[in-house]
């Protein structure tokens, strides 16, 4: 089968990364969660007291960003591609509400997007790639073989993310999670640089009432049809 590039975009907390990870494992593709890259930059800004630079001197912030490396390492024990800043695994930290509440502001800055998109396009696509985010089908890989747009009701998304955060030991209320999701959708869809849109070639999946397995089955049919034609 031909190796494909699969772009998964969509609203906050629609299970994009679970679907993308499942597909990558099934087909032996590389999986990149582009959202964790924006979250990593946000964590870097928070931990190094650089938030002021985001508004006042973005060029200096970008210079500082160049001193760190952001990369993914596959963890064979949990089958997750975990994100690192230099040699530090930050997979857990980037899931905090503090990072979630700031990330859309950071991700709206064009110079930061340009750096992230460069890293995202650096990947070797010959092995097959699944990437999830907000602008993958529209900006990062407009030539993707399959483009998906995931959505679900606000309540379903908030419940899923709340459960996940509690499981990861993060104390947070359902209301705060819901507010965060709605605020991020609003900011991500209204920013001027690479807003979240439904690309004209994207297949929209409302997964409010679908399991991960059902979605993987449905997308697998698209992949197998495309890869054998």
Give the interface with ligand CDP as residue ranges (CB under 6 A): 12-13, 17, 34-36, 38-39, 103-104, 107, 133-136, 184, 188
Nearest approach in angstroms of CB 1 to ligand CDP is: 26
Which sign, positive or negative, has the C-alpha torsion 175, 11, 85, 91? positive
Q: How buried is 225 (Cβ within 10 angstroms: 0-12 exposed, 13-18 middle, 19+ buried)?
A: exposed
- Output 104 or 215, the one with its CB closest to ligand CDP: 104
Nearest approach in angstroms of CB 105 to ligand CDP is: 8
Nearest approach in angstroms of CB 225 to ligand CDP is: 26
- Is the Cβ–Cβ distance between 195 and 122 less than 8 Å? no
Q: What is the DSSP letter of 202?
A: P
C-alpha span between 118 and 123 (Å, rounded): 9
- Output 1 or 138, the one with its CB closest to ligand CDP: 138
Q: Which of 199, 90, 176 is nearest to 184 (CA)?
A: 176
C-alpha span between 183 and 196 (Å, rounded): 13
- Output 17 or 81, the one with its CB closest to ligand CDP: 17
- Output 90 or 107, the one with its CB closest to ligand CDP: 107
List, edge to edge, every strand of the sheet that includes 88-89: 70-75, 80-85, 88-89
Which sign, positive or negative, has the C-alpha torsion 97, 102, 108, 114? negative
Nearest approach in angstroms of CB 207 to ligand CDP is: 13
- In the bound state, the residue with its beta carbon closest to ligand CDP is 35
- Output 97 or 222, the one with its CB closest to ligand CDP: 97
In the structure encoding, which two tokens stand for residue 176, read together? Answer: 């705060």
Nearest approach in angstroms of CB 42 to ligand CDP is: 8
Nearest approach in angstroms of CB 99 to ligand CDP is: 9
In the structure encoding, which two tokens stand for residue 198, read together? Answer: 């439904």
- Output 27 or 100, the one with its CB closest to ligand CDP: 100
């Amino acid at each position: 089968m031909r190796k494909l590039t699969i772009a998964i975009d969509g609203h906050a907390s629609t299970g994009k990364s679970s679907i993308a990870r499942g597909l990558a494992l099934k087909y032996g593709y590389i999986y990149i969660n582009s959202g964790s890259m924006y979250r990593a930059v946000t964590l870097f800004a928070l931990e190094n007291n650089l938030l002021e630079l985001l508004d006042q001197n973005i060029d200096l912030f970008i210079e500082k960003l160049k001193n760190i490396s952001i990369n993914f390492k596959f963890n064979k024990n949990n089958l997750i591609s975990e994100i690192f800043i230099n040699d530090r695994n930050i997979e857990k930290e980037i899931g905090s509400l503090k990072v979630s509440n700031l990330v859309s502001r950071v991700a709206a800055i064009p110079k930061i997007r340009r750096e992230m998109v460069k890293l995202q396009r650096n990947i070797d696509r010959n092995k097959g790639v699944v990437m999830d985010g907000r602008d993958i089908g529209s900006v990062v890989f407009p030539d993707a073989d399959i483009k998906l747009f995931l959505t679900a009701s606000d309540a379903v998304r908030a419940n899923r993310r709340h459960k996940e955060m509690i499981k990861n030991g993060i104390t947070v209320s359902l209301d705060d999670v819901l507010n965060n999701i709605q605020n991020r959708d609003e900011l991500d869809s209204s920013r001027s640089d690479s807003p979240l849109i439904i690309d004209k070639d994207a297949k929209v999946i409302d997964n409010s009432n679908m399991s991960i397995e059902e979605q993987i089955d449905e997308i697998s049919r698209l992949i197998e049809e495309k890869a054998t034609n």
